[in-house]
Amino acid sequence: MTVRTRIAPSPTGDPHVGTAYVALFNLCFARQHGGQFILRIEDTDQTRSTDESEQDILRALRWLGLDWDEGPDVGGPHGPYRQSERKDSYAQYAHDLVDKGHAFYCFRTPEELDQIREERKAQGLNPGIKGDLELPAEEVQRRLAAGEPHVIRMKVPDEGTCVIQDMLRGQIEIDWAQVDCQILLKSDGMPTYHLANVVDDHAMGITHVLRGEEWINSAPKHKLLYAYFGWDMPELCHLPLLRNPDKSKLSKRKNPTSINFYERMGFLPEAVINYLGRMGWSMPDEREKFSVAEMIEHFDIQRVSLGGPIFDVEKLRWLNGQWLRDDVSDDEFVARLKDWWFREDALRDLLPHVKGRTEVFSDVAPMAAFMFSGMLDLAPEQFAHNKLEEGQVKRVLQFALWKLEAQRHWSKETIFADIKGLAKAMDLKMGDFMFPIFVAIAGTPNSWSVMDSMALLGPDMTRARLRHALNLLGGFSKKETKRVEKEFAAL
């Protein structure tokens, strides 16, 4: 048997370090067994998936030095590797399950389902969506003939226990009572993740599924689907989730999570991927610095420890310094720094802002330094403003941060709309509102349009600087945060 593993990102946002981490472990596992590693794009959620995000994910994984044997950009014998291009095949599988009695048509609206859940809860029953929602055959035919909107749901046992065999965790038991009759085909005819994922893992000959532990609860549904289809299930391995230094699940609210951020900060890709290799795993000799090739050579999935690995940017910085000093020659240092600093496209983006303000080239570095920096060296006094009290300054930064955390389309226009809306809601003049933002992002109120700077710096760097400024001003206590959250919600 040839080992085949895959990474299956959904292109719905920035390239996440967690995706790179899971990709790395899948790559190492496959290579160590002389097998293949596949990249598949799971873009069945058409409202959230974008081409831009897909391009960004592929580019970021390549920047880290990861490569795949089959994928949307390199092709392969099991293509297409983008689920939106395979969508016609899924409906047939769902209908086959209906014909075999393993799935049923469901005509309930989300509101009706909420009501059913409430009623069941009130009666002390399991509020799950179960097979008792299936209608008699004639009724189904009548509704289908009348063209009523519907989904297809898989049938799931009401009781008993599902046992999942996990490569790291051994047996995991999950009560069927906790598992809903999952939707397989949505009312628009598109498959859900569960159906498409199982169908494609089978079609692509995937033998081992290494993925994040957040998918454990999906495993019973998948196991049942494999059984319904009569297919062998791949081995499952749920990797521990990456965590913030405070042990909570790694989230962009607390830590930069986009690979793009680390590239922009000037990290070396070999150090970032090395650090990801140390998430829950270590070399037999415990050495801290190693390449992907060395990791493959010594890889053993059983050495993954389940205690939540902490993704700590400070430790990553330290490791990066080690790489830079030990493994990058002077010539290479110059070449790579030049590549990072004087990237032609980045300079061109800055040109419209810089050219009109420049008399001699030596003017450029001081005014544009913040575009090539990490966190700025600021003092709290720089935020003092005669129209804003300190509490307001902090609110401006906090509200802008929350607003921009929720922004999925990063552009000058969307940032402007967010900021303008907030200033209005807070009843502040745009100029006053913008002051703390300028200082947080550019280090001075006398820079070019800060909306342009934020657009160019990208979401993670922007958020990191707003967070940094807020921390510098002492942030909000737990109690204050509650109040401020309420104020924000009321805006």
Give the integer Cα–Cα distance in Å for 179 and 126: 10
Give the integer Cα–Cα distance in Å for 197 and 6: 11
Site string for ligand GLU, 231-260 (x = CB under 6 A): ------------------------------
Cβ 464 to ligand GLU shortest distance, Å: 24
Asked if 8 is part of the footprint of ligand GLU (rule: CB under 6 A), the reply reads yes
| Residue number with CB closer to ligand GLU (304 or 415) | 304
Cα distances from 46 to residues 58, 175, 186, 338, 425, in angstroms, run 18, 32, 12, 39, 32
Do the beta carbons of residue 460 and residue 405 sit within 8 Å? Answer: no
Give the integer Cα–Cα distance in Å for 144 and 106: 10
Site string for ligand GLU, 358-377 (x = CB under 6 A): --------------------
| Residue number with CB closer to ligand GLU (239 or 271) | 239
For tokens 């005014």, what's the residue? 367
CA angle 195, 92, 51 (to 5 degrees): 55
DSSP for residue 301: G
One-letter amino acid for residue 132 of the chain: D
Window 391 to 430, contacts with ligand GLU (CB under 6 A): none
Cβ 57 to ligand GLU shortest distance, Å: 10
Single out the residue of 10, 182, 447, 453 in contact with ligand GLU (rule: CB under 6 A): 10
Give the integer Cα–Cα distance in Å for 64 and 58: 10
Q: DSSP letters of 158-225? A: SSSEEEEEETTTEEEEEEGGG----EEE-TTSPBPHHHHHHHHHHHTT--EEEEEGGGGGGHHHHHHH
Choose the binding region for ligand GLU from 4-12, 71-79, 174-182, 269-277 (rule: CB under 6 A).
Answer: 4-12
Give the integer Cα–Cα distance in Å for 217 and 224: 13
Window 168 to 197, contacts with ligand GLU (CB under 6 A): 193, 197
Window 203 to 222, contacts with ligand GLU (CB under 6 A): 211, 215
| Residue number with CB closer to ligand GLU (211 or 278) | 211
Cβ 272 to ligand GLU shortest distance, Å: 20
Is residue 247 annotated as part of the catalytic site, yes or no? no
Window 32 to 61, contacts with ligand GLU (CB under 6 A): 42
Give the integer Cα–Cα distance in Å for 111 and 268: 50
29: which 2 tokens?
């596992």
Cβ 18 to ligand GLU shortest distance, Å: 8
CA angle 409, 375, 348 (to 5 degrees): 55
Choose the binding region for ligand GLU from 5-13, 249-257, 295-303, 390-398 (rule: CB under 6 A).
Answer: 5-13
Window 314 to 333, contacts with ligand GLU (CB under 6 A): none
Single out the residue of 5, 9, 29, 183 in contact with ligand GLU (rule: CB under 6 A): 9
Cα distances from 416 to residues 21, 104, 371, in angstroms, run 34, 47, 19
One-letter amino acid for residue 482 of the chain: K
Catalytic residue among 186, 249, 252, 254: 252
Cβ 228 to ligand GLU shortest distance, Å: 18
Cβ 490 to ligand GLU shortest distance, Å: 34
Cβ 46 to ligand GLU shortest distance, Å: 14
Number of H helices, E strands in the chain: 20, 9
Tell me the number of residues near ligand GLU by CB under 6 A.
Answer: 8
Window 273 to 292, contacts with ligand GLU (CB under 6 A): none
Choose the binding region for ligand GLU from 6-14, 31-39, 354-362, 462-470 (rule: CB under 6 A).
Answer: 6-14
- Active-site residue list: 252
- Chain residues binding ligand GLU by CB under 6 A are 8-10, 42, 193, 197, 211, 215
